[in-house]
Structure 1
Amino acid sequence: MKKTLSLILIILTIGITRAESIITAQYPDKIIYEGKEFNLNSNPLEPYFDKNPENRPEMTSTALWRGYVGHFEIIGNELFLTDMKKPVSYTDDDGNYKRKWVSIYKMYFPRQGKVRIDWFTGILILPHGKMVEYVHMGYASTYSKYWLLEIENGIFNEARKYTNKEFVKFKKRQFEVFEKTEEYKKLYAELKENDEYNDDEFIKSFISDFVINYTTKFLTE
């Protein structure tokens, strides 16, 4: 968790100083759910690379700090990784600068077909529909609709569908319940240790904004 927190805090700090190389909007992972492909505001491979840092791909651009785009699919009631890709730049015969996506999947999982993501527990965020607001930072842009998928050790438990307004209300309810837990207290204390972010109202607002990233299941109807 410390690595994830540090990354978000760095992004927020650099954002204040307008450093474009860090606050660039990120290429999202992809997921197929109910036969349709969605972007993901979540990165289910990150727990794997946190435990296996020697395998982590190098950053390929400021728009892809994690170095890859993961392709996932809900098959039956399980979450699977089906591919990993990265952008490769090249110059065509006319001297034009181009970019293409190439698979790097077999570099990391050479003996496997689809990989069941049994290390991931959390809520996947699938934004879709019309973009409501573009924000040039991470996955901060907002959309008119959202799917939320609750995953426990790679098992798909439940899906919820929200409009933008319903999604905002859900996050508020989720935070109200989360705020009463021991997990919240631990997260709050960890953020409080950071000298730049020790303002109580800022920390509370920060956790509220990212509550879905820090809760592993639906806490409210």
Structure 2
Amino acid sequence: MRAGTGALPLPTLNSQLSTDMTAQIGEKLIFNGKETSISFWPSLPDQHPGIIKLEAKDIKYDNRSICSTACWRGYIGTWAIENGYFYLVGLVGQYKMTDKYPILADWFSGTIRVPQGELIYYDRAGFKVYDREIHVQIENGKVIDSQSIDNRDREFNFPKIRGKNLRNFEDFWNNSES
């Protein structure tokens, strides 16, 4: 995986998230025809013919966020869930897509949490919990399950979570009480 590696003159973000750092800009997600954001970023593959890493001199800084401490990975991806598959459909920053897109994200396996409803918790590390979410389980780019989650009555043990190094939202979710 190459997320966070690169030529930007900024520190890079490894897979550890510290709750003492600047909240990171989420990726964009197109879900059921609507654009939303997700609070984590699926990794990019080490080498893919449809993804090109740019030289520092070739990076367009149209989006100033990509060169801030809120985007240590140096890029923002746009993803889509369509017809039972998970695709990378756009990149801004230190990577760009060739004209072969959308790209099936067959390197990705995990759960995408699609926000629905009102934001009920936000942590400065970037963790967000919405009163309702759709959890979409993806395996090698293919949607294998999805379920609606109602967080309105769920209790989260935020003081216990704060101060821990969490690898991703999955760690956060598993460290909360159901």
Counterpart among 144, 156, 160 of residue 131 in structure 2: 144
Task: Write the distance in 1 (CA, Å) between the matches of 2:71 and 2:87.
Answer: 21
| SS of corresponding position for 1:24 | coil
Task: Write the distance in 2 (CA, Å) between the matches of 1:64 and 1:151.
Answer: 24
Q: Which runs of 5+ in 2 are unaligned?
A: 2-13, 57-65, 174-178
Task: Write the distance in 2 (CA, Å) between the matches of 1:31 and 1:114.
Answer: 13
Larger Rg: 1
Counterpart among 186, 193, 212 of residue 170 in structure 2: 212
Aligned equivalent of 2:39:
41
| SS of corresponding position for 2:170 | helix
Same amino acid, percent of matched pairs: 24
Question: Is this contact kept in 2: 1:31–1:72, CA < 8 A?
Answer: yes
Please tell me the residue identity of whatever aligns with 1:135: D
Counterpart among 32, 42, 48 of residue 30 in structure 2: 32
For residues 146-183 of structure 1, the C-alpha deviation after alignment (integer angstroms, 9 at most, x for no partner) is 111100100011111112246668xxxxxxxxxxxxxx
Q: Name the structure with the higher strand share.
A: 2
TM-score of the superposition, structure 2-length normalised?
0.65
Counterpart among 102, 119, 123 of residue 114 in structure 1: 102
Question: Is this contact kept in 1: 2:80–2:86, CA < 8 A?
Answer: yes
Q: Name the structure with the higher helix share.
A: 1
For residues 37-84 of structure 1, the C-alpha deviation after alignment (integer angstroms, 9 at most, x for no partner) is 22112312x142xx35x9389761011111121111112111111111
Q: Which runs of 5+ in 1 are unaligned?
A: 16-22, 87-103, 170-201, 216-221
Please tell me the residue identity of whatever aligns with 1:40: I
Residues matched between the structures, number: 144
Please tell me the residue identity of whatever aligns with 1:25: A
Runs of 4+ in 1 over 3 A off after TM superposition: 54-59, 165-169, 205-211
Task: Write the distance in 2 (CA, Å) between the matches of 1:64 and 1:157.
Answer: 30
Task: Write the distance in 2 (CA, Å) between the matches of 1:212 and 1:57.
Answer: 33
